[in-house]
Structure formats: structure tokens, C-alpha cells
């Protein structure tokens, strides 16, 4: 079978990755910028996300209104997002418009960050931060990251803090933009029914003159803390309890095993579902594996009435201990593997999903992986692999306990302020 991938690097360092999907009628394109919240300094926390907003606000060729109209003229499904380690801008259109879509995205990458829009958009970001304070799960996750990764850039929220965003100036953002949004820290990814040679020629025309930069300082891995942290907020009616444990990082070839372990413990029809939710201990309980380029964590969590927090914590620890000591059954592994296979099969037919998968592959593996390669990694997961995972990354120990809600739980724990 012909290799569907074309990889090319422009002279200025911009990487181009193309997956040709000849049997579809659409195509997706996106710029992955290798910068995110963990690349900020503490006093500028939130600048990456705020900058993402500003990239839609105007270029030398388009006003913000024209950017919006041009996306809609193509019928594009478009958006952007910022994470701890990346910022992504993408659009998904019918194949005939993929050239126009790439041109628009490339123009946005040369934003002027219009000064007249800066203070207006700052208000929008501050409103997002305020809304997050009304969401118990959002608050809990931010608090968890702050404590588990204390002293490291992964500790602050992607949105930043009210005081850091309020204090940002357009000049500070411009300096960050010019240092971080450079071609040798960006990847243009295209997936769909496209002609690779034409896409490379277009990228050369649109992006070839962008100046490259000096090398970025290396990222440092965090120390993952244990202990207990409590955030008491009287206005909420539920308590969220979370247990966090060190795990493997995204580039680890065994990452599908970690994902399967989380699903068996806390996914759909999981042990948490049957032994915690269905037994009435808590209406919500689950497990997630979070991975970054240089670290990972397994997070067990549940939300309950405050007076059931003791019972919920005991139940979560009991299931964690049981899976570590007794292992898992083959039927549990087969179930989560089949769910994953179906997900990959469906996503493999959609250019947008292939775009996001290739982004992960480029960051974590340095090359795209086909759907068949991803499926092979799923096929390799076994009950023994999962048992080995829990032996190496045990969740049968204390870990880090996070408690957020109206109750002072556990009793005697130091209270943080919201």
C-alpha cells in the first residue's frame, strides 16, 4: 500500500505533514504552535490562551470581521484551543476550499494583535475566568494541578489568574508572540483529499518568508507531589474528591495500556461505575489518565454529597487497592479494547480527527502513525500489561488527595483559599 504521508520542512523550519485520504470529500488543516501554558512565566500566566483569542482579531490583510466572514464563506468548521503544551488553530472544509482555508489560517499566524481590540478581548477572557469559578469541576481541576505540580509551570491554569490577565499589556503579549509563534516551532498539518505537491507549494508561497528564531529553552519535567490539599467553598452543594498518582508520559509506547487501565477502573461500565455509582455512594466517579511530553498522572475522582465524602474516599481507595492486588480480567480488557477500536475506526475516516491525532503523533513520536499502527498498539494491550502497569505505577498508596467543596474534609487538613 502506498504511504499516505508526505513530510516536508521549509528552509525556515516550518514542518509540513500531509495525510492523503482519497476516499473522502473534505480536508482539514491546522497550525500546531508548540507553546502553551507551561511555557509562560508565573506573572504572565494565561498569556498563551489570551493570545489565542487575539489571533482572530486582525492581520495586515483582514479585520476581525473579515476573518469571521471568510471562515463562514467556506462553510468551515473552525476553532482554536490552548493546552498546557500547545496552541492549535484549524479549519475543516470541503476539498475544493482547502487552499483558501490554509491561506486564511496562515494569514492569522501573522496577526497584528490590534491594540484597539486588546482591552475588549481582555474582558472576554476575564469573564471566562469568572465563569470557571462557578463550575465546581473546573475549580477542582485547576486546584489539583496547582497543588500536584506546585512550583512548576504546569501548576497554573490555562486561562491564567484574574490578576495576571488583568496585568497583561499588549507589549508583553507581542513579545511573547514574536518569540513563540515562529516557523521552527510550528507544524502545518493537513488531512483529507488533497494533492500533497500543491499543498507544499502553497505553504512555501504563504509561509516560506516567515523568519525563524533562536532555539527555545528546554522544558523541565515537574515533581509530582503527594499529600493532602483542601479547598473549602461553602456555596457549592457537592464535594469532589480526587486522588492523583504519577504515571507514564505521552511518548511512552505503552500509553494505550495506561488508557485501558483508566477505562477499566473508571470509564463506562467500569469498576467505579458498578461499585460506587450503582451502589449509591456517589452520582459521579471515574478515572482519567493525563499525559504530557515529559510526565503523566492517573486521576481518580468522584462527586458526592458532602456528608458522603468519607464513604466515597474509602470506596475509591478500596477499588484502587483491589485492582493493584488482584489485577484485571481478560473480559474487562477486551471490552475497553473494543471501545477503543471502534473509536479509532470511526475517527480514522474523518479528516478533522486525523488532524488532531497526527498532532499528538508529531509531538510525542516525531512522525505520524496510521490508524493501523494505532490499532496495533491497542491490540498489544493485555491483562498482564495492565497488571504490570499497576505494579510500576501503583495507585494502592496514598498519592495526592484533593478535596474541594463546602465540607472541611478531611478533618484537620489545611484549608486553601479560593
| Integer CA distances (angstroms), 262 to 9, 106, 145, 371, in order | 37, 38, 19, 22
DSSP state of 184: G
Helix (H) or strand (E) holding 332: helix 330-347
Are residues 286 and 276 in contact, defined by beta-carbon separation less than 8 angstroms? no
Are residues 314 and 409 in contact, defined by beta-carbon separation less than 8 angstroms? no
In whole angstroms, what is the distance from residue 36 CA to residue 81 CA? 10
Are residues 340 and 256 in contact, defined by beta-carbon separation less than 8 angstroms? yes
Domain spanning 5-207: CATH superfamily: Metalloenzyme, LuxS/M16 peptidase-like (3.30.830.10)
CATH topology match: 5-207 vs 227-416: yes
pLDDT for residue 411: 86
pLDDT for residue 416: 78
pLDDT for residue 417: 64
CB count within 10 Å of CB 21 equals 21
pLDDT for residue 84: 96
- Using 70 as the pLDDT threshold, list the residues of the chain that sit under it: 1, 417-418
pLDDT for residue 142: 97
Closest CA to 158 of 38, 16, 287, 325: 38
CB count within 10 Å of CB 277 equals 18
Q: Which residues of 197-217 are buried (b: 16+ CB within 10 A; e: fewer)?
A: eebbebbbebbeebeebeeee
In whole angstroms, what is the distance from residue 353 CA to residue 389 CA? 28
| Integer CA distances (angstroms), 71 to 180, 336, 355, 374, in order | 25, 38, 18, 32
Domain ranges within the chain, ordered by starting residue:
5-207, 227-416
pLDDT for residue 257: 98
CB count within 10 Å of CB 269 equals 14
In whole angstroms, what is the distance from residue 260 CA to residue 414 CA? 35
* Domain 227-416 CATH (choose: 3.40.50.10710, 3.50.50.60, 1.10.3720.10, 3.30.830.10): 3.30.830.10
pLDDT for residue 116: 96
pLDDT for residue 29: 98
CA 216 to chain CA mean position, Å: 21
Amino acid at each position: 500500500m502506498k504511504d499516505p504521508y508526505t513530510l516536508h520542512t521549509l528552509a525556515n523550519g516550518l514542518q509540513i505533514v500531509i495525510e492523503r485520504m482519497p476516499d473522502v470529500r473534505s480536508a482539514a488543516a491546522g497550525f500546531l504552535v508548540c507553546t502553551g501554558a507551561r511555557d509562560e512565566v508565573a506573572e504572565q500566566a494565561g498569556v498563551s490562551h489570551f493570545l489565542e483569542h487575539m489571533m482572530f482579531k486582525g492581520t495586515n490583510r483582514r479585520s476581525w470581521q473579515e476573518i469571521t466572514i471568510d471562515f463562514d464563506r467556506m462553510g468551515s468548521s473552525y476553532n482554536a484551543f490552548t493546552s498546557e503544551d500547545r496552541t492549535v488553530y484549524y479549519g475543516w472544509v470541503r476539498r475544493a476550499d482547502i487552499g483558501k482555508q490554509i491561506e486564511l489560517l496562515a494569514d492569522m499566524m501573522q496577526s497584528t494583535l490590534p491594540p484597539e481590540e486588546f482591552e475588549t478581548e481582555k474582558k472576554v477572557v476575564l469573564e471566562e475566568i469568572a465563569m470557571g469559578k462557578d463550575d465546581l469541576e473546573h475549580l477542582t481541576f485547576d486546584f489539583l494541578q496547582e497543588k500536584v505540580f506546585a512550583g512548576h509551570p504546569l501548576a497554573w491554569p490555562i486561562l491564567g489568574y484574574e490578576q495576571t490577565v488583568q496585568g497583561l499589556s499588549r507589549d508583553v503579549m507581542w513579545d511573547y508572540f514574536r518569540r513563540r509563534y515562529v516557523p521552527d516551532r510550528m507544524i502545518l498539518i493537513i488531512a483529507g483529499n488533497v494533492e500533497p505537491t500543491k499543498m507544499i507549494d502553497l505553504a512555501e508561497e504563504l509561509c516560506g518568508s516567515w523568519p525563524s528564531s533562536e532555539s527555545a529553552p528546554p522544558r523541565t519535567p515537574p515533581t509530582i507531589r503527594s499529600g493532602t490539599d483542601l479547598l473549602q467553598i461553602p456555596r457549592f452543594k457537592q464535594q469532589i474528591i480526587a486522588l492523583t498518582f504519577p504515571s507514564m508520559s505521552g511518548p511512552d509506547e505503552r500509553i494505550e495500556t495506561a488508557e485501558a487501565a483508566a477505562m477499566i477502573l473508571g470509564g463506562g461500565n467500569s469498576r467505579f461505575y458498578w461499585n460506587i455509582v450503582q451502589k449509591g455512594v456517589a452520582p459521579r466517579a471515574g478515572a482519567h489518565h493525563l499525559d504530557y511530553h515529559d510526565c503523566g498522572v492517573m486521576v481518580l475522582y468522584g462527586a458526592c454529597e458532602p456528608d458522603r465524602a468519607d464513604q466515597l474516599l474509602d470506596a475509591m481507595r478500596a477499588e484502587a487497592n483491589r485492582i493493584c492486588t488482584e489485577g484485571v480480567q481478560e473480559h474487562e480488557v477486551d471490552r475497553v479494547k473494543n471501545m477503543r477500536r471502534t473509536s479509532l475506526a470511526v475517527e480514522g475516516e474523518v479528516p478533522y480527527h486525523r488532524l488532531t491525532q497526527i498532532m499528538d503523533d508529531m509531538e510525542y513520536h516525531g512522525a505520524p502513525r496510521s490508524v493501523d499502527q494505532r490499532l496495533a498498539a491497542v491490540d498489544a494491550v493485555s491483562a498482564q500489561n495492565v497488571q504490570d502497569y499497576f505494579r510500576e505505577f501503583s495507585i494502592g498508596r496514598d498519592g495526592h488527595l484533593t478535596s474541594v467543596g463546602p465540607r472541611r474534609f478531611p478533618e484537620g487538613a489545611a484549608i486553601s483559599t479560593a
